[in-house]
Structure 1
């Protein structure tokens, strides 16, 4: 565990570990090219009865995020403790809605990746044409576009469309994943993005696509658990942190 050079009020060891993981996820999103300058968000709920969660400081690039720079806010969107950075109100609407409704969603990730937005604009959504797409289709919801997410009235519809799923396609907007850990939410986003990238390329090939037979979809979640040895994102997470140590050090500060 890294040292905790927090300039503000100290936090628990559990919160600091969560900060380090979430900062790592921001750096990984940047390394994969899925960031949209400063305009999307990854959040993580701090364990405890207060329903506080961590979000990026608005105005800081994903490649700059550190554990200590993350802003802790309440469900009212107001920072808990001092922070020199504001919070994006659109990010707050989407993420606070999910965190309030899904106790199991410790982490929520939302991206505006080019591939994700491209598929979100396709009427048929995610197609069953790749192994990656099957993992997504096994737990996927869709939410229609209602404009920039600034209106609290949208929250119940967004939550209903997510349901108990892991993946949510925001139509004409982008991708959203949830997970019981930062690692799980990141692995889900990696798979979601891969499914969209494959679909964009396959459709660009101007050839008839070969769909995967529907019966295969029925057993895909059990197969996913087998592939990850029941660990989910935790299986890949250590290697991702080692990559950050080489390519984007300092996130843990």
Structure 2
């Protein structure tokens, strides 16, 4: 991750400040990519144990702010129940919006980061009976990595969590039918590149649909493509290089006030 350019807030563990800066950058990158939904949806990260003493604590966007307004210092720290832990932060938390995230963070061991979007093309694919089509370069990189969960309404009810977790299984990506896209991963950059690949696959699928019947990618080829995909290989940074490049691009265009 890029070095922190501004001094960290007084009293914060350096690892917490680093996580805050990275997460704030992610919110700004989502905005730059057009992945926002006014003040809704979330990207969450679990703080490392060296910060929390082993307690489960998370960072989430303040409810009421657009992604373009999120900064390292105004991110909220919450517990697994969605309760605010930093009383000096004036912004409210949306505990109902944390329902999906809480379930995954709590029960999926490697879910350090969870991302959820309602992008137009992602939602369009989520509304199709066939879901993601294995017919393009990007979907071929996601063989056996995408789960599906049937629509049960707005995901604010904790009783849906066991069914959602059962649908997710051990897969890092999920298409919430009639709803949107979801990604989880051991790091924020890895979660980001996985979601980007799924989003890109959806973009191509929607564009291609108007052109007639697509050429299907054989399963064996898709399996090999997923295995060979550089962005999931730990030897190539597991998305860190991509995320750093997007952070630099954001700063070049919009500045670095998210680091405040």
Shorter-normalised TM range: over 0.9
Deviation for aligned residue 1:227: 7.8
In structure 2, the residue matched to 1:95 is 101
Instruction: State the TM-score, normalizing by the size of structure 2.
Output: 0.92
2: CA distance between counterparts of 1:64 and 1:226?
A: 29
Post-superposition shift, 1:90?
Answer: 3.1
Q: Please identify, of 156-165 and 229-238, the stretch whose mean Cα deviation from structure 2 is larger.
A: 229-238
Please give the root-mean-square deviation of Cα atoms over the aligned residues, in Å. Answer: 1.5
Question: For residues 54 and 227 of structure 1, what CA distance do their matches in structure 2 show?
Answer: 24
- Residue 47 to residue 226, structure 1, CA distance change in 2 (3 Å): closer
For structure 1, the 5+ residue unaligned runs are none
Partner of 2:128: 122
Task: Give distance in 1, aligned partners of 2:203 and 2:145.
Answer: 18
Could you tell me how far apart the structure 2 residues matched to 1:136 and 1:54 are? Answer: 28
Of the three residues 214, 220, 225, the one matched with 2:225 is 220
- What's the TM-score once normalised by structure 1's chain length? 0.94
Alpha-carbon distance, 1:222 to partner: 2.2
Which residue matches 1:252?
259
Could you say which residue in structure 2 is the equivalent of 1:33?
34
Q: Which runs of 4+ in 1 moved over 3 A?
A: 225-230
Deviations 1:98-142 (A, max 9, x none): 100112111100000000100000000000011111223331100
Kindly provide the CA deviation profile for residues 66-99 of structure 1, in whole angstroms up to 9, marking residues without a partner as x.
1111100001111112121112233210100110
Query: Quick check: 1:138–1:220 contact (8 Å CA) kept in 2?
Result: no
Uncovered stretches (5+) of structure 2, i.e. residues with no partner? none
User: Does residue 3 of structure 1 match 2:6?
Assistant: yes
How far 1:212 sits from its partner (Å)?
Answer: 0.6
Residues 165 and 189 of structure 1: is their aligned pair in 2 closer, same or farther, counting only changes over 3 Å? Answer: same
